[in-house]
Chains A and B, each alone.
Chain A
């Protein structure tokens, strides 16, 4: 049963190079992502996880296999339709933030809304609401250079959400952040998840992997293991050996 999937990939492939130099960056991936699901893909650098994310978000085209997004077959979309899908239905969060350095936090968030034809007033209101929601409402007039790494990433998340995408894709979103800022990003993802947002995150950070509903391990372009992490929690005291002591 895959009709209800938001994303469906079958034998998805992406090759680079030819002949002797052929590299299968993504090598026959099957994946279904249900609406509202939070999936993390973990693997070492070079395992193909970023390439996979680019295929899922329509940033790149596959070399083989099939990919459906929101009921449409991506391979059959023309360039213009693909670009429109990316702008309106997918939100991207990158490790290096990719904010426009000459625009303020608010302008960075407004821009994708303006590009899809949202009236300026409505775009401004949405940007302010989102910046508030991710905890940088007091920094809307700052340029990215005046923000910390954690604040920049929160602005980037607000930007990813401005067109109310059905899917948010994040590529190493905490790769450049310290522990406290990582925790902030995880809190925001937790809230998005609670609000029903579908999230696919690729990372080598176990902290993000562990907070997903489903964690997929990837190696050499293929999925090697998959684990569901929802379910029973034990007492936290067991983490520091308190329980063994108490039952002595």
Chain B
């Protein structure tokens, strides 16, 4: 996850780290369970070093990071606006898998069709996990919208694997025919 996602959570108002954590938990639902508890603190200290976040520490209380109030610096505000207008998008690395199949077939090291089958099984397990999480979410929650996106992406990947399987199966039968 991008540092900017944590940064942008401060745009509404200054907050303590535990409040940011709670905002992230709400937005991510069960998907936030993989989020390491220290992750928010580590990210905040990186952002502070970069001059994007300022820390107010109440002088009267004993030192402890939970007392720190984080806010955006002008540079931080600038960075958030820039991030919101960026058109970046996560890239699935399909080329790597594609090259794996080609290399396996060319070298005769492994059967491309069994590689596709194993990969399909793995994606189906992920899809099952995402689907079960979606079934457990109340309708209209922020996390259910995220889960819908994950499910749709996995479906698209599974359809591509189906195309891979068809293609490599027909290559194999063409090969058999030409060897006869």
Contacts and interface: CB of A to CB of B under 8 A. Distances in A.
A187 B126 CA distance: 18
A239 B32 CA distance: 10
A186 B34 contact: no
Interface size class of B (residues with CB under 8 A): 35 or more
A229 B35 contact: no
A235 B154 contact: no
Given A239-B150, A246-B34, A234 B131 contact: no
A179 interface: yes
Which of A225, A238, A240, A245 has most chain B Cβ within 10 Å?
A: A240
Given A211-B131, A235-B34, A240-B146, A227 B154 contact: no
Contacts of A187: 135
A235 B150 contact: no
Interface string B90-118: 10000000000000000000000000010
Interface in B26-56: 28, 30-36, 38-39
Given A187-B135, A246-B39, A236 B31 contact: yes
B30 to A, nearest CB: 5
A210 interface: yes
Interface string A229-244: 1011111111111110
Contacts of B155: 206-207
B132 interface: yes
A183 B134 contact: yes
A179 B133 contact: no
Contacts of A215: 124
Which of A209, A225, A235, A242 has most chain B Cβ within 10 Å?
A: A242
Contacts of A233: 125, 128-129, 132
A190 interface: yes
Interface string B149-166: 011001100110010000
A239 B135 contact: no
Nearest to B150: A239
B148 interface: yes
B20 to A, nearest CB: 15
B131 A210 contact: yes
Interface in A151-210: 179-180, 183, 186-187, 190, 206-207, 209-210
Contacts of A246: 34-36, 38-39
Nearest to B36: A246
B139 interface: yes
A227 B118 CA distance: 10
Given A236-B34, A242-B35, A227 B124 contact: yes
Given A209-B124, A245-B1, 5 more contacts: A211-B128, A227-B121, A229-B128, A236-B133, A242-B28
7 contacts: A186-B135, A234-B125, A237-B34, A240-B1, A240-B31, A242-B1, A246-B35
